[in-house]
Structure 1
Amino acid sequence: MKRQRKVNQLGISIVNFFEDYLPNLRGMSPHTIYSYRDSIVILLRYMSSKYNRGVESLELADLKAGNIEQFLQHLETERRNSIATRNVRLSAIHTLARFLSGQHPEQVGNWQAIIAIPFKRGVRQIPTEYLDAENIKALLEAIEQHSNNVCRDYALFALLFNTGGRVQEILDLRLQDIRFTAPHQVRLHGKGSKIRNCPIWPSTAKLLEDLVTSLATDDVNTPVFMNQQGKPLTRFGVRYLLRKYAQIAGATTLATNKLPHPHSLRHSTAVHLLKAGVDYATISQWLGHASLTTTMRYARADLDLKRQALSLVFPEILAAQPPASHRLSEDNNLTTWLKRL
């Protein structure tokens, strides 16, 4: 008879961390818990490889501050993670260490050493990736011509462009969240369990209505976007579809000239709203940003906006010829000219 392996303290603590501490005591959203889960899974796999033992054989004593520091170095060197991603993983580990300090106070010195590991500074400013109007049109035309499920895919990407919603917000959409009559709108469930209503074009409402009709259901809790197996479409499914149609259309982002990722559709909506003259506060509410500072990043993203701003700053004065004494000529050599500036 095979003896059943006993669950150790690390396993018990991790289960309590995810099933009770994060959702109940900390009140974290499912999306944040999923992010923490991914971070802890990567950590456990690294520790398993380091000690050449199965994950189920790891102990609390293996979670040493030195091992955590080596893990963070592994993220940057082996996995090629950015500093921002490294800090996200460390944030999850800090939260776990704080939880363990209450569950196992006999090792509080180790948990404090882990909590004391600092976040890394020097996060590089990544250019905002977005699509211009021409690339958006090409992408939607590719869906019309090459999709096996035109009704779903066209409605999906039209809604992403229309609302600027996060991919998961759109995928969480239920039949009861759509208003098909004027004023047309959808109800999005955002970060931190925040709910916001977002207006949509009549054409987008018609696309959604056609899609809902094809679902042939009266259950208002039915997800709007389903895969071929009749299950809710996932973020990975959206990424696959976007990459597929972008390759067909030859659509690339302006900042990096790369294929767009799902979040670049959200950036596209924000930049086009800004170029249309919509104020920052409205865009912030539209996108569900927690801070206006987040919205301000889009002002740095578009070169046309910078050119427009430049043309408004003393255009007549700056267009005038410089004084004669400040002109460089044959009789006015470079050294003399520099001294007169």
Structure 2
Amino acid sequence: MPDPQRLPDALDRALRDWLTHLDVERGLSRHTLRAYERDVGRYAAYLRSRGITDLAAVDSAVVSDFLVALRSGEGDHPPLAASSAGRAVVAVRAFHRFLALDGALEADPARSVTPPKTPLRLPKAIPLDRVEALLAAASVGDTPAALRDRALLEVLYGVGARVSEVVDLDVDDLDRDSEVVRLRGKGDKERIVPLGSYAAAALDAYRTRARPVLAAKGRGIPALFLNQRGGRLTRQGVWAILKATAERAGITEEISPHTLRHSFATHLLQGGADVRIVQELLGHASVTTTQIYTKVTIDQLREVYAGAHPRAR
């Protein structure tokens, strides 16, 4: 675990205790630990700038003022967007809650401070015809790389996987008899997702005709998707493959692996899938997260209705 920045002793000990708790007892990832350390480290620096070195002197007004400073900017820090400020406030709330539960503080001064509401950001999906153009562009050629790229993109779109879930796939995560794939999502939670016929066919071609060629260049690792050296394909490698394929397909808008995940969900709902089924397929912990896609489809229905119904205008 990286060392937190140098702080006054009381704040230093409190931050170290909290980070150790998150690392050892909660088992959070290094990426998450660094984010928490950065956000609460900034909070501690803010307290120090106000002459506060004893956390018992912090009240809700101080935490609220910190939120204001995040949104307006202070010192060398530019103003933060609502989402970034909200993330920092969530970290500060967790920090104070830990100290209160641990008995280091008598009360939790951050409990009543709520993160700022973030504007609704609709997921960006691309129409089905452009998805098909992308997959067609990935089908050109019969080289091991071409077969891998087609299978990779078919899986990204066909099962709505996150890029991290796809690069983490091992060969044993595929069940060709049942035509399902096991994905490991956030919090290492597993879910089983069915493979469509196109993804299954592309994976069969890749596994029998391409993967053995790529694997021969490496050390026999279990990864499903391999790079040209026989190692596990990285996120950056997936982005590069998608970008090159999109250029060949003549797709000019910005596209990412997450765009294909958004398109997967949007196209399912447009086809009549129940939102709770889509929730399970995406691996969302709450249906509320999935319901943002229903906003997209309702807007599209409204647009079609306005243009087609004689009494709509």
In the superposition, the TM-score normalised over structure 1's length comes to: 0.65
The partner residue of 2:160 within 164, 185, 188 is 164
The partner residue of 2:174 within 174, 178, 195 is 178
Unaligned regions of 5+ residues in structure 1, if any?
1-5, 53-58, 253-257, 320-341
SS class of match (1:120): coil
Change (3 A) 1:222 1:102: same
Change (3 A) 1:36 1:308: farther
1:85 pairs with 2:81: no
Equivalent pair of 1:270/1:298 in contact (CA under 8 Å): yes
User: Over aligned residues, Cα RMSD in angstroms?
Assistant: 4.3
1:94 pairs with 2:103: no
Equivalent-residue separation in structure 1 for 2:155 and 2:194 (angstroms): 10
Aligned equivalent of 2:274: 279
SS class of match (1:222): coil
Change (3 A) 1:98 1:47: closer
The amino acid of 1:37's aligned partner reads R
Write the mapping of 1:59-78 to structure 2, written as runs, cut at 5 A.
65=63, 69-74=68-73
Identity of counterpart residues, as a percentage?
25
SS class of match (1:196): strand
The amino acid of 1:222's aligned partner reads P
Write the mapping of 1:104-253 to structure 2, written as runs, cut at 5 A.
105=104, 112-121=108-117, 123-144=118-139, 149-179=145-175, 181-200=176-195, 201=197, 202-210=200-208, 211-213=210-212, 214-216=214-216, 222-227=222-227, 232-251=232-251
Equivalent pair of 1:29/1:191 in contact (CA under 8 Å): no
Equivalent-residue separation in structure 2 for 1:35 and 1:10 (angstroms): 20
Equivalent-residue separation in structure 1 for 2:192 and 2:288 (angstroms): 21
Change (3 A) 1:92 1:273: same
1:232 Cα deviation (Å)?
4.0
1:186 Cα deviation (Å)?
0.6
1:310 Cα deviation (Å)?
7.5
The partner residue of 2:256 within 244, 258, 261 is 261
In the superposition, the TM-score normalised over structure 2's length comes to: 0.70
Unaligned regions of 5+ residues in structure 2, if any?
1-5
1:194 Cα deviation (Å)?
2.6
* Number of residue-to-residue matches in the alignment: 289
Mean Cα displacement is larger for which, 79-88 or 10-19?
A: 10-19
1:21 pairs with 2:22: yes
1:266 Cα deviation (Å)?
0.8
1:264 Cα deviation (Å)?
1.7
Equivalent pair of 1:43/1:71 in contact (CA under 8 Å): no
